C-alpha cells in the first residue's frame, strides 16, 4: 500500500518534474510494470488532457506517415533526374516518363511512375548543414541542432503532435517510430511523456511479429495483471474517499485510460502484422537478399513490412508514424547500391502504400511525406557515389489533400541549387502541422524556462493543394 501511495504522490505533482518521467519510453507500456509504468501512461494522458482544455485538438481521422530515407537520397537518382546534363552530373541512370505528361523521374521507379497522378514532388528544398544528425534535427524539429549534434534540444514534430493531440484517441499512442528513435525524433524539453512509442522489434516477411511493449513477461498472465490493476484501484478508492481536492478522482480517470490502452484490443490489433493477407505483404515487396531478418550490406532489414505496419497504425488512429528507411548514404558504389537494393524495393513499397491507402479510403486523411535529411552532390565522385549536399534536395508528398502530378520548385541544370521557388524543411513541417490541426503559435518552455514556439518559421506548401 505504501508503494502505491508513493506512486500516486509522484503523479499528483507537476508532470514535468516527476521522477517517473525519467523512465525510458521503451518499456513504458510494459504490462509487467503496470504498478508503475501504467501510472506513468496515466500521467501522459493527464498532461494531454490539459492540452485539450487549452483548446488544442484536431479531427481524429487525420494522420501523417513520414517515410524517413535516412542518409540522404540522391535527387538525381530518384525524383529529379538530369538526363541532359553531362555524364558526371546525370549519373548512370536515365529518366522515364510518368503517367503525368512532362514529369520524369528515375527510370528505376516504374511503379511510382505509373501512379504519378497520385503523388507530387518538391524539387527545391534546401538548408545549410551537411551533417546527418544535424539534418535530421532540422527536418524533424524545424530548428538547428544544439551543441551536441546527436542530442535533441528541440522537440520533434511527433512530440508536438503527442503534446497537442494524444487525448483524441487515448487507446492508441499518438506518435510511433518504426523501429527505433533517430536523432531529431525525441521529445527534448517536452519530457518523456511526449517521446515516441518505439516498436523496437523489426517486422519481418516471415514469422510472427511481436511488439515488446505489448508482450507480457512469462511470469505474468493477463489475469494476474488484472488482479494488480484491481488492487491499485482499491487503493485509489480508499484515497479518493479521503480526498478533498478532487485530485485523486481525476487520477482514477487517467489511470483507467492507461489500463485500457495496455489491455484493450485496439493497440494489439494494430500491431498484429500477421493478420495481413500474404498477398498484401508481398505487394509491399519481398526481397530475400535485402529483407533478411538481419541487416544486409545496405543496413536495412524488412523495409516493406515497416511501411505496411505504418499503414495499419494510421488506420487504427495513430496520428504520426515515422518509418526509418535507412541507409541512403551512397558515397561509394552508389549506382550498385541504388540499382540492386534501394530503388526496386522503395518503388514497390511506396507505390503499394499509396494504392493501399487509397483503396481503404485513407489517402485523403493521411499525408505521406517521403524525404531525407539532405540530397547528394551534383557531381559523381571518384568512387561512383555522391556525397552530402544540403544545398538542394527533393521530397515526395501524397495524400492529405495533396493533388497528385505536380512539381513544386526546380533545381538548376546540374541539380546543385534551387533555381525556382525555393523551399525549406520548415515549410514541409508547416504543411504537416496544418494537416493535423497543430497550433504552431503555441509555445512551450525549454529547460531554462524560455518560451519556444512550435515552429520558428515556415509556410505550408500551398502549391501542392
Instruction: Please give the chain's pLDDT, 465 residues, in tens.
Output: 333 333 333 333 333 333 333 334 443 343 333 333 343 444 444 554 554 444 444 344 799 999 999 999 999 999 999 999 999 999 999 999 999 999 999 999 999 999 999 999 999 999 999 999 999 999 999 999 876 555 678 999 999 999 999 877 777 889 999 999 999 999 999 998 899 988 886 776 555 566 655 544 444 444 544 454 454 455 455 444 444 444 444 444 445 555 556 556 787 788 888 888 888 988 998 655 444 444 433 444 468 889 999 999 999 999 999 999 988 999 998 888 899 888 998 999 999 999 999 999 999 999 999 999 999 999 999 999 999 999 999 999 999 999 999 999 999 999 999 999 999 999 999 999 999 999 999 999 998 999 999 999 999 999 999
Question: What residue ranges define each of the domains in the chain, with the CATH number in brackets?
Answer: 2-55+217-264 (no CATH), 63-208+271-464 (3.40.720)
3-state DSSP call for residue 266? helix
Q: Are 126 and 422 in contact (CB under 8 A)?
A: yes
**Per-residue cell: 280:** 498484401
5 phi and psi, to 5 degrees?
Answer: -65, -40
Residues in the chain: 465
Which residue in the block uniquely carries the three cell numbers 478533498?
244
CA atoms of 183 and 180, how far apart (whole Å)? 10
CA atoms of 34 and 179, how far apart (whole Å)? 23
Residue among 191, 197, 195 nearest 172 (CA): 197
Cβ neighbours around 5 below 10 Å, total: 13
Q: Are 65 and 52 in contact (CB under 8 A)?
A: no
Residue among 175, 160, 153, 66 nearest 454 (CA): 160
237 half-sphere exposure, CB direction, 13 A CA radius = 6
pLDDT (0 to 100) of residue 292: 44
CA distances from 285 to 113, 303, 337, 340 (A): 17, 8, 17, 14
Helix (H) or strand (E) holding 255: helix 247-263
Cβ neighbours around 245 below 10 Å, total: 8
Buried b (16+ CB within 10 A) or exposed e, 346-385: bbbbbbbbbbbbbeeebbebbbbbbbbbbbbbbbbeeebb
pLDDT (0 to 100) of residue 193: 84
DSSP 251: H
> Residue 1 burial (CB < 10 Å; 0-12/13-18/19+)?
exposed
Strands 320-324 vs 63-68: parallel, antiparallel or unpaired: parallel
Q: Are 28 and 213 in contact (CB under 8 A)?
A: yes
What is the C-alpha end-to-end distance of the chain, expressed in Å?
Answer: 57
Q: Are 20 and 40 in contact (CB under 8 A)?
A: yes
pLDDT (0 to 100) of residue 340: 84
How far is residue 459 CA from its own chain's centroid? Answer: 21
Residue among 355, 313, 20 nearest 179 (CA): 313
pLDDT (0 to 100) of residue 358: 98
Strands 407-408 vs 119-125: parallel, antiparallel or unpaired: parallel
Is the peptide bond between 400 and the residue preceding it cis, with omega within 30 degrees of 0?
no
pLDDT (0 to 100) of residue 85: 97
DSSP 365: T
Strand partners, 178: 323
Helix (H) or strand (E) holding 104: strand 104-106
CA atoms of 461 and 236, how far apart (whole Å)? 50
Amino acid at each position: 500500500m505504501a508503494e502505491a501511495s508513493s506512486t500516486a504522490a509522484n503523479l499528483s505533482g507537476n508532470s514535468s518534474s516527476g521522477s517517473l518521467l525519467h523512465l525510458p519510453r521503451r518499456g513504458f507500456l510494459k504490462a509487467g510494470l503496470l504498478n508503475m509504468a501504467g501510472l506513468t501512461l496515466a500521467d501522459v494522458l493527464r498532461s494531454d488532457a490539459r492540452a485539450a482544455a487549452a483548446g488544442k485538438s484536431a479531427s481524429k481521422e487525420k494522420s501523417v506517415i513520414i517515410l524517413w530515407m535516412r542518409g540522404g537520397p540522391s535527387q538525381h537518382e530518384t525524383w529529379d533526374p538530369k538526363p541532359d546534363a553531362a555524364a558526371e552530373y546525370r549519373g548512370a541512370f536515365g529518366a522515364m516518363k510518368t503517367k503525368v505528361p512532362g514529369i520524369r523521374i528515375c527510370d528505376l521507379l516504374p511503379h511510382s511512375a505509373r501512379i504519378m497522378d497520385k503523388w507530387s514532388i518538391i524539387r527545391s528544398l534546401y538548408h545549410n548543414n551537411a551533417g546527418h544528425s544535424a539534418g535530421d534535427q532540422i527536418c524533424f524539429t524545424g530548428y538547428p541542432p544544439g551543441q551536441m549534434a546527436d542530442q535533441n534540444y528541440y522537440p520533434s514534430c511527433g512530440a508536438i503532435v503527442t503534446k497537442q493531440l494524444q487525448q483524441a484517441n487515448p487507446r492508441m499512442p499518438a506518435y510511433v517510430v518504426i523501429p527505433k528513435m533517430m536523432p531529431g525524433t525525441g521529445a527534448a524539453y517536452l519530457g518523456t511523456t511526449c517521446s515516441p512509442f518505439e516498436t523496437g522489434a523489426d517486422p519481418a516477411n516471415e514469422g510472427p511479429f511481436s511488439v515488446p511493449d505489448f508482450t507480457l513477461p512469462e511470469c505474468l498472465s493477463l489475469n494476474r495483471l488484472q488482479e494488480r490493476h484491481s488492487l491499485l484501484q482499491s487503493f485509489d478508492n480508499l484515497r479518493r474517499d479521503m480526498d478533498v481536492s478532487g485530485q485523486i478522482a481525476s487520477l482514477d480517470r487517467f489511470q483507467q485510460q492507461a489500463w485500457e490502452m495496455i489491455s484493450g484490443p485496439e493497440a494489439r490489433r494494430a500491431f498484429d502484422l500477421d493478420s495481413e493477407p500474404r498477398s498484401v505483404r508481398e505487394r509491399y515487396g519481398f526481397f530475400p537478399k535485402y529483407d533478411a531478418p538481419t541487416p544486409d550490406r545496405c543496413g536495412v532489414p524488412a523495409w516493406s513490412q515497416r511501411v505496411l505496419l505504418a499503414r495499419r497504425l494510421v488506420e487504427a488512429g495513430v496520428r504520426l508514424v515515422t518509418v526509418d528507411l535507412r541507409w541512403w548514404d551512397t558515397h561509394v558504389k552508389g549506382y550498385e547500391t541504388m540499382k540492386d537494393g534501394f530503388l526496386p524495393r522503395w518503388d514497390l513499397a511506396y507505390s503499394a502504400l499509396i494504392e493501399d491507402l487509397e483503396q481503404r479510403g485513407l489517402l485523403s486523411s493521411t499525408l505521406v511525406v517521403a524525404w531525407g535529411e539532405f540530397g547528394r552532390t551534383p557531381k559523381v565522385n571518384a568512387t561512383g557515389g555522391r556525397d552530402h549536399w544540403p544545398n538542394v534536395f527533393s521530397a515526395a508528398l501524397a495524400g492529405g489533400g495533396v493533388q497528385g502530378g505536380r512539381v513544386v520548385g526546380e533545381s538548376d541544370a546540374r541539380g546543385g541549387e534551387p533555381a525556382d521557388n525555393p523551399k525549406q524543411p520548415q515549410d514541409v513541417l508547416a504543411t504537416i502541422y496544418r494537416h493535423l490541426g497543430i497550433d504552431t503559435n503555441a509555445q512551450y518552455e525549454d529547460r531554462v524556462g524560455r518560451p519556444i514556439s512550435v515552429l520558428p518559421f515556415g509556410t505550408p506548401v500551398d502549391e501542392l493543394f
